């Protein structure tokens, strides 16, 4: 069936066009009156003409009949485009055009045989499909895959001039919505007066509103991100540079696939939306569980017919590419099976500057795929979202109380934040709902502090968690304060200190109760013995602070227990100085690269050096205990301090205080147990100060 021409689709006898011509500048009013409404056939003919020349050139270059796929990114428009192509190509090449491929396995095999017979008979087969991958394994090969061009301001103006019979082309602004115009956007009411461009723009924007992030919380307003915020800001800047034609930044040069890891409620979705909003990307949300469910449906099919999961993944990526530039947010990455990991990697690698897509996946700590799987899937960065501090939780509670009747004082709000410490904002929402229920059933009165306390302590998820006493939290505060003060003194003012926290973090395969973050130094090719020893003292500062606070017999296991612990790092640094650099106390010049288990003499020298540096660290912190004490108090109050805050506290701290006073205070803590801090196993260090890194020369 041939598609009618543009002239044939205009219907005469309607005086509405004449009326529009009297009120709409640019409308044609001369000649026979016709219906101004645009038909699907007219739009299909326009698109068919736009791609027909490429099809004929492809067949000419092949020199033989072939299989050509025209990618149609407009759902429900494939049949219209098929009719348009049949009309445009009927006098140009010998071909048959199809707008679907059978989903039934037997019918698909029959269609494949018919395709081969047609090629042998000298007729080209053209398929109008969402993507050519539907034909993989069905036909010998796909000779060409062509995409319908996106509208530009110039081509949209030309289309409107033709569709609406304007006397001159309208002015089309160079705005992002232009490239997203689809056929349905032209089907505006014939009663619309004025320039058609505003109506087309509004139709496109309404359709794209589902993928917009206008209501997303800006990155700078998201609470509790801490060190992740700087990474997200850098990613936004990279995306903006890659999308800006004035800046020489290639799409391949930026991180195009990242994983956000954290517990439910820490803000993985909010962070992805904030990045999309700031970068000007459409936001497409999909779930890896849908892919897994599709794969489960293939269980009883033969290997050749297992296509449901592949099609589901490709459909989601095609949607993101059609909305490019866009962000594809994949929920529940942990549900992805190993068989689908390479498929995901191939789809991620297929993103290019023509249809730029950023992939952001989310996973929990427990479900995070291993590093090998992440590399196979082409993920380039993993960002661990921290649990919120008590201050962040208190601020979140205040914002949620704005529309709730309550009798909570400011001090009680702060106390609730401390009780929820170790939980997330989603946990806080649950506690508020349960507290409201308690208040409602107690005479419909305003919510009180004791309602929240009962809701928190009686929640099964909270009861199942191990508890941490405030005295133990204080030990963590002194541990991290010891690191910070030792580094502050050894590095002439701690200019490289960036962040100190006692809020749990996921790092190095476990969860750390606290850490000190320092800026990474520029690459260096040499280091003095004094610098190396100073770094060792900084690493031992946490354990030294605990010993001064509690006594030698009560030092916790926080400084050891894993390959990334303080003791492991100090040992590696000392071994490097002595065995590889000849900078030990004995001044031995012998180069020894063996392990400590094999080289007993080297092990003894390392132990001697570490003991000496530890005693020096003890003396250092004893002399400056007032700094450790002050910083620990601030950490207990805020849980997290920036580098500027740490330096200000240490520079403004008053007269010295003895370790004995702090030890007495720690022993007298009687605050009720707090909810768990999601600690790692007892075989690993809860004070994993991964940021106290030493990049010794190779």
Q: Find the CATH number of the domain harbouring 120.
A: 3.40.50
Is the residue at 196 inside a domain? yes
- Whether 682 maps to a domain, the answer reads no
The set of residues, in sequence order, having a beta carbon less than 8 Å from that of 206 and lying 6+ positions away, is none
Q: DSSP 3-state assignment of 692?
A: coil
Same domain, 566 and 663: yes
Answer yes or no: do 500 and 395 share one domain. Answer: no
The verdict on residue 128 lying in a domain is yes
CA distance 241 to 236: 9
- Residue 445 and residue 493 in one domain: no
Task: Give the separation between CA 246 and CA 238, rounded to whole angstroms.
Answer: 13
Report if residue 684 sits inside a domain: no
Q: Closest by alpha carbon to 119, among 90, 142, 148, 153?
A: 142
Helices (H), 517-599: 529-539, 541-550, 566-575
The kind and range of the H/E element at 641 are strand 640-642
Q: What is the pLDDT of residues 67-106, one digit of tens each?
A: 999 988 888 899 999 999 999 998 899 999 999 888 777 8
Task: List pLDDT tens digits, range 136-192.
Answer: 667 778 888 898 888 999 999 999 888 888 888 999 998 889 988 989 888 876 666
Which region among 391-395, 475-479, 584-588 has the lowest average model confidence (pLDDT)?
Answer: 584-588
Selection from 424, 365, 359, 378 nearest residue 397 by Cα: 424
Q: CB of 540 within 8 A of CB of 566?
A: yes
> Residue 199's domain spans which residues?
6-37+151-211
Last residue of a domain, one of 406, 437, 463: 463
Q: What SS3 state is found at 124?
A: strand
Give the model's pLDDT for residue 661.
52
318 in the same domain as 288: yes
Residue 534 sits in a domain whose CATH number is 1.20.58.760
Cα–Cα distances (Å) from 319 to 75, 160, 271, 327, in that order, read 10, 26, 21, 11
Q: What is the DSSP letter of 301?
A: S
What the block records as the tokens of 275 is 């990045």
Q: Are 297 and 320 found together in one domain?
A: yes
How high is the pLDDT of residue 497?
80
The beta-strand segments (E) located in 54-101 are 67-71, 95-98
Q: How far apart are the C-alpha atoms of 20 and 25, rounded to whole Å?
A: 9
Give the strand order in the sheet containing 497-501.
515-518, 497-501, 640-642
pLDDT at residue 387, rounded to an integer: 82
According to DSSP, the residues that pair with 258 across neighbouring strands are: 360, 381
pLDDT cut 70: percent of the chain above it: 81
Residues 504 and 626 in one domain: yes
Predicted local distance difference test score (pLDDT) of residue 694: 33
pLDDT band at 679 (very low <50, low <70, confident <90, very high): very low
Do 360 and 324 lie in a common domain?
yes
Number of structural domains, the chain? 5
How far is it, in rounded angstroms, from Cα 391 to Cα 681?
Answer: 27
The domain that holds 348 is classified in CATH as 3.40.50.300
The answer as to whether 697 is a domain residue is no
Strands 510-512 and 505-507: antiparallel
**Tokens 């989601």 sit on residue:** 316
3 state SS of 362:
strand
Residue 486 lies in a domain: yes
Q: Is 689 a residue whose pLDDT tops 60?
A: no
Same-domain check for residues 229 and 261:
yes
Q: What is the pLDDT of residues 605-622, one digit of tens each?
A: 999 999 999 999 999 999
Q: What pairs with residue 361 in β-bridges?
A: 259, 330
Of 693 and 420, the structure prediction assigns the larger pLDDT to: 420
Average pLDDT over residues 540-565: 86
Q: Which of the four pLDDT bands, split at 50, 70 and 90, describes residue 654?
A: low
Contacts of 117 (CB under 8 A, 6+ apart): none
Do the beta carbons of residue 612 and residue 586 sit within 8 Å?
Answer: no
> What six digits make up the tokens of 693?
């890194």
CATH of the domain at 456: 1.10.8.60
Mean pLDDT of the chain: 80
Does residue 229 sit in the same domain as residue 311?
A: yes
Is cis: bond before 325, omega within 30 of 0? yes
Helix (H) or strand (E) run with residue 473 in it: helix 470-490
For CA atoms 62, 63, 67, 71, the dihedral sign is: positive
For residue 389, what pLDDT is reported?
A: 82
Evaluate whether 384 touches 505 at the Cβ level (below 8 Å). yes
Average pLDDT value for residue range 106-114: 87
Q: How far is it, in rounded angstroms, from Cα 81 to Cα 99? A: 8
Q: 375 pLDDT exceeds 50?
A: yes
Judged against a pLDDT cut of 60, whether residue 466 lies above it is answered with no
**pLDDT tens profile 406-435:** 989 988 888 888 888 778 888 888 899 999
Residues 81 and 187 in one domain: no
Distance CA(609)–CA(297), nearest Å, equals: 63
- Residue 58 belongs to what H/E stretch? helix 40-62
519 phi and psi angles, rounded to 5 deg: -65, 145
Q: Which of 358, 384, 410 is the last residue of a domain?
A: 384
- More confident of the two residues 582 and 688: 582
680: pLDDT strictly greater than 70: no
pLDDT tier for residue 525 given thresholds of 50, 70 and 90? low
Q: Say whether pLDDT at 599 is over 60.
A: yes
DSSP 273-285: HHHHHHHT-EEEE
- Using CA atoms, how far apart are residues 465 and 485, in angstroms rounded to an integer? 33
| DSSP-assigned beta bridge partners for residue 517 | 499
692 is a domain residue: no
Residue 358: enclosing H or E segment and its boundaries? strand 357-363
Q: At 354, is the secondary structure helix, strand, or coil?
A: coil
Asked if the structure places residue 263 within a domain, the reply is: yes
Q: Are residues 103 and 90 in the same domain?
A: yes
The pLDDT of 360-389, averaged and rounded, is 86
Which residues, other chains included, contact 34 with Cβ-Cβ below 8 Å and sequence gap of 6+?
10, 11, 12, 14, 17, 165
Name the residue among 108, 25, 115, 28 with its Cα closest to residue 66.
115
**Residues listed for the chain:** 698
> Beta-carbon neighbour count of residue 96 at 10 Å?
15
Asked if residue 641 and residue 551 are part of one domain, the reply reads yes
How far is residue 84's CA from residue 1's CA, in Å, rounded to a whole number?
10
Question: Which pLDDT does position 298 carry in this prediction?
Answer: 64
- Sequence-distant (6+) residues with CB within 8 A of 160 are 166, 169, 170, 172, 196, 197, 200
pLDDT digit string (tens) for 245-274?
787 778 888 888 999 998 888 889 999 999
Using a 10 angstrom Cβ sphere, with 0-12 exposed, 13-18 middle and 19 or more buried, the burial of residue 429 is middle
- The answer to whether residues 337 and 322 touch, using CB atoms and an 8 Å cutoff, is no
Helix (H), strand (E) counts: the chain: 27, 14
- pLDDT of 37-57, one tens digit each? 688 899 999 999 999 999 999
- Supply the pLDDT for residue 657: 52
Domain end point (choices 384, 406, 428): 384
Residue 331 phi/psi, 5-degree rounding, is -80, 155
């Amino acid at each position: 069936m041939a598609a009618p021409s543009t002239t044939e689709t205009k219907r005469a006898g309607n005086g509405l066009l004449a009326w529009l011509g009297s009120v709409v500048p640019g409308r044609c009013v001369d000649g026979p009156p016709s219906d101004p409404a645009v038909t699907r056939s007219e739009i299909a003919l326009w698109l068919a003409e736009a791609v027909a020349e490429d099809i004929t050139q492809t067949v000419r270059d092949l020199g033989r009949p072939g299989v050509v796929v025209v990618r149609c990114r407009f759902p429900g428009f494939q049949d219209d485009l098929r009719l348009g192509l049949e009309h445009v190509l009927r006098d140009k090449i010998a071909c048959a055009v199809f707008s679907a491929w059978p989903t039934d396995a037997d019918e698909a095999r029959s269609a494949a045989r018919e395709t081969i017979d047609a090629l042998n008979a000298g007729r080209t087969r053209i398929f109008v499909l969402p993507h050519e991958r539907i034909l993989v394994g069905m036909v010998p090969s796909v000779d060409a895959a062509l995409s319908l061009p996106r509208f530009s301001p110039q081509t949209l103006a030309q289309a409107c001039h033709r569709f609406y019979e304007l006397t001159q082309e309208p002015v089309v602004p160079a705005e992002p919505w232009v490239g997203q115009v689809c056929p349905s956007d032209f089907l505006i009411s014939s009663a619309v007066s004025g320039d058609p461009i505003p109506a087309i723009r509004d139709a496109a924007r309404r359709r794209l509103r589902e993928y917009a992030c206008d209501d997303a919380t800006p990155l700078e307003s998201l609470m509790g991100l801490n060190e992740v915020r700087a990474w997200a800001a850098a990613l936004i800047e990279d995306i903006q540079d890659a999308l800006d034609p004035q800046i020489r930044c290639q799409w391949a040069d930026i991180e195009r696939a990242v994983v956000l890891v954290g517990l439910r409620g820490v803000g993985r979705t909010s962070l992805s939306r904030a990045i999309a909003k700031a970068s000007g990307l459409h936001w497409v949300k999909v779930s890896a569980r849908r892919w897994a469910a599709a794969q489960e449906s293939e269980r009883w099919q033969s290997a050749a017919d297992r296509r449901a999961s592949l099609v589901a993944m490709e459909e989601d990526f095609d949607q993101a590419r059609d909305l490019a530039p866009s962000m594809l947010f994949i929920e529940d990455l942990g549900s992805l099976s190993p068989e689908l990991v390479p498929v995901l990697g191939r789809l991620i690698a297929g993103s290019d500057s023509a249809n730029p897509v950023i992939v952001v996946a989310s996973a929990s700590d427990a479900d995070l795929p291993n590093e090998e799987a992440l590399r196979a899937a082409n993920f380039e960065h993993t960002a661990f979202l921290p649990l919120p501090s008590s201050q962040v939780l208190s601020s979140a509670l205040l914002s949620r109380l704005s529309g709730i009747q309550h009798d909570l004082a400011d001090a009680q709000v702060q106390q609730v934040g401390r009780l929820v410490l170790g939980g997330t904002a989603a946990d806080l929402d649950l506690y508020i709902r349960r507290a409201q229920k308690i208040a409602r059933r107690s005479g419909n009165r305003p919510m009180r502090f004791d309602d929240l306390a009962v809701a928190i302590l009686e929640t099964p998820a909270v009861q199942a968690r191990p508890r941490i006493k405030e005295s133990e939290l204080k030990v963590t505060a002194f541990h991290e304060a010891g690191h910070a003060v030792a580094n502050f003194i050894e590095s002439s003012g701690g200019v490289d200190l960036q962040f100190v926290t006692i809020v749990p973090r996921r790092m190095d395969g476990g969860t750390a109760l606290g850490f000190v973050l320092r800026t990474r130094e520029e690459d260096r090719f040499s280091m003095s013995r004094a610098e190396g020893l100073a770094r060792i003292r900084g690493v031992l500062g946490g354990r030294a602070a605990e010993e001064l606070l509690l006594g030698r017999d009560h030092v916790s296991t926080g400084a050891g227990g894993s390959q990334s612990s303080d003791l492991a790092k100090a040992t590696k640094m000392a071994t490097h100085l002595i065995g590889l650099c000849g900078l030990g106390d004995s001044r031995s010049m012998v180069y020894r690269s063996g392990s400590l288990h094999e080289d007993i003499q080297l092990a003894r020298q390392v132990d001697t050096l570490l003991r000496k540096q530890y005693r020096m660290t003890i003396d250092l912190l004893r002399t400056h205990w007032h700094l450790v004490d002050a910083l620990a108090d601030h950490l207990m109050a805020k849980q997290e301090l920036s580098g500027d805050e740490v330096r200000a506290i240490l520079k403004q701290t008053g007269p010295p205080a003895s370790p004995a006073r702090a030890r007495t205070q720690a022993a007298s803590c009687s605050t009720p147990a707090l909810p768990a801090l999601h600690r790692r196993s007892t075989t690993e260090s809860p004070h994993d100060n991964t940021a106290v890194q030493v990049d010794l020369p190779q």
